[in-house]
Amino acid sequence: MARDGAWPARQPAPAEDEAVGGIRIEDVTLVRGAARIFEGLTLNLAESRIGLIGDNGAGKSSLFRLISGLDKPQQGRVVVSGAASSGHVGLMFQNPDDQIIFPTVAEELVFSLTARGEPRQAARQQALDFLAERGLSAWAGRSVGELSQGQRQQVCLMALQISEPRTLLLDEPYASLDLLSQARLAEQIERSRQQIIVSTHLLEHVQDFERVLWLDEGRVRADGPGREVCEAYAADVRGRARAERGNHA
């Protein structure tokens, strides 16, 4: 299957004023369980490409949960595209099994459409067409449980793409993808007119972004052009690795 997982060359172009979203996080405090994840966090996220980097536990997934409305802040507020709603935001979960609900690929895609109000019959046809455009018609009736981790991640991406949210939040989307699928996704992100925020440990995928945020224990440690922020983070990691080696010597 040469085109397995391929994205179509053409994207439906949204109207100019819909091309870029806007998210404001205003003085947000978020507590999950016993952990105080964010305290007084303020961010204006308006750029079309934003990378999110930082150590395990830094707060990347928590920030996505906040923006997508899955978690409500104890203090402050999150404003999406001028309205206090999360309807324009689609989140791709770090773990595909947290996202996928239905037993087959087609049903999962159909749900993305019926959830935003499409009639079921039209949604089913659209889902089948969407798979066909990607050379993935054979996936329609496949059981999600029988797909590999990377394939399930691709299903999650497609389920998001098909509903065309104004803002896409991709939580470590490259983690399980093979190299070809990573290249396809990077190209897809580059071509898309949507606002896309990507968290990743693979810095090469965000270093050319106009803006990258480095999160460190729930705080913004650096915020600026991708190359600068990625270099600062990589240098910090190298320094910590050296210090650890020194301690163990």
Ligand X SMILES: Nc1ncnc2c1ncn2[C@@H]1O[C@H](COP(=O)(O)OP(=O)(O)OP(=O)(O)O)[C@@H](O)[C@H]1O
Applying CB under 5 A, the residues found at the interface with Mg ion are: 60-61, 94
Exactly one of 2, 13, 15, 56 binds ligand X (CB under 6 A); that residue is 56
Give the pair of three-digit tokens for residue 225. 């052009």
Q: Where are the alpha helices (H) located in 89-192, listed in sequence order?
A: 96-99, 105-114, 120-133, 149-162, 179-191
Tell me: does residue 94 bind ligand X (CB under 6 A): yes
**List 53, 62, 153, 157, residue binding ligand X (CB under 6 A):** 62
Residue 83 CB: number of other CB atoms within 10 A? 9
Told to check if 35 binds ligand X by CB under 6 A, we report: yes
Q: Which does residue 54 bind out of ligand X, Mg ion, none, counting CB within 5 to 8 angstroms by kind?
A: ligand X
Residue nearest to Mg ion (CB): 61
Question: Which residues have a Cβ under 8 Å from the Cβ of 177 and sit 6 or more positions away?
Answer: 150, 153, 154, 185
The residue from 58, 80, 127, 212 that contacts ligand X (CB under 6 A) is 58
* Nearby residues of 131 by Cβ (< 8 Å), 6 or more positions away: 105, 106, 109, 137, 139, 140, 158
Give whichever of 53 and 162 is closer to ligand X, judged by the CB atom: 53
Q: Which is nearer to ligand X, 60 or 166 (CB)?
A: 60
- Residue 190's Cβ-side half-sphere holds a number of Cα atoms within 13 Å equal to 11
- Please give the residue ranges that form the binding site for ligand X (CB under 6 A): 32-33, 35, 37, 54, 56-62, 94
